[in-house]
Amino acid sequence: MTDPTLDLTRQLIAINSTTPEDGGCQGIMIRRLEACGFTVERMRHGEVDNFWARRGKQGPVVCFAGHTDVVPTGPHDQWHSEPFTPTEKDGLLYGRGAADMKASLAGFITAIEAFVASHPDHHGSIALLITSDEEGPAVDGTVRVVETLAERGEAIDYCIVGEPTSSTVFGDTIKNGRRGSLSGKLTVYGVQGHIAYPHLAKNPVHLAAPALAELAAMHWDEGNAFFPPTTWQISNIHAGTGATNVIPGELTAQFNFRFGTASTADGLKERLSAVLDRHGLDYHIQWTLGGKPFLTEPGILSNALQAAIAAETGVAAELSTTGGTSDGRFIAAICPQVVEFGPINATIHKLNECVAVADVPKLAAIYRRTLETLLG
């Protein structure tokens, strides 16, 4: 016997949708949604395909959000099987995007189809927000759709993002928030010169080192009940011409803050700059705010999802805000309750990405049960 969610997952994995390409995944989803009575708006921006689909005109609005794009495969010859040929082995379904996040996309569709068949006159609205720009720069994807919805005053009440959140066993983790990401490119200016005449030069490496050491040792905040303490890490550092007898004229360092709601981006900028100023550095910083932190406190949506997970798997899901950023940070601007739930994430972005075959039908059943609670 075949399972409709597994069948659709295989169909989507077979499509090469390396970011920002969609490859036709969204067309497959759209045709099935339109057959269920959805109104679908395609929103293409630049090279990115997005769509917003909705069934119903009243609230509450329950939205499923996700992305059809996948990261590059890496060397094909290091995969057990072709990355865009869905392959089952030892209870696992292999293929790029299997866990991140084509199983979730398939689960959205089949859960909605089953729910609508049982509840053709359901109250409220079901919506989908899908992009092909989550694994890339994320500038023409979800954020652009959210901007369009905000401009016309269209809000979402509950949103489930299909990111692969499970850690050790399927169903053990729901993300109810994510840390913010604040990056900076620091340039410290010195005076280039001959290394034998240091009194005629000004070495930015020597000048910056004490300040960077102080920043690396700083305690930025205590975190809170939902987020760990803020971290600061240098990712790249460079100075010099490559010659061994030249004092460099500049040092550049790239760094990143991961922060929760105990700190603000502006506050972190001010504190970092204060350290550099105290060390008397001549410097410039180019800041990039990758995303603000968002948090959904335990409530209607997380309770409904936890109950559905328990019913299908017997697992008591925990709420967590760990990990990197997601498109949930954009959706939180128009939706007060945003959570993420999906398959085990152990193989995402790796060679031989896979999802457990047995988990895929359960994933769709969990999404359907959640719809039953919220709109049934």
Residues with active-site annotation: 69, 134
CA distance 126 to 112: 8
Residue 161's alpha-carbon distances to 175, 243, 266, in angstroms, are 9, 50, 28
DSSP 366: H
Q: Judging by DSSP bridges, how do beta strands 50-55 and 92-94 pair with one another?
A: unpaired
Report whether 257 contacts 325 (CB < 8 A): no
Class of residue 4 by CB neighbours under 10 A (exposed 0-12, middle 13-18, buried 19+):
middle
The pair of structure tokens assigned to 126 is 């079901």
CA distance 95 to 177: 28
- Dihedral angle, C-alpha 191, 195, 198, 204, nearest 10 °: 40
Please list, residue by residue across 34-64, b when 16 or more beta carbons sit within 10 angstroms of its beta carbon and e when fewer do.
eebebebeebebeebbbbbbbbbeeebbbbb
Residue 111 CB-half CA count within 13 A: 31
Report whether 83 contacts 14 (CB < 8 A): no
Phi and psi, residue 127, nearest 5°:
-135, 160
266, containing H or E segment: helix 265-278
DSSP string covering 301-340: HHHHHHHHHHHHH---PEEE--SS--THHHHTTT-SEEEE
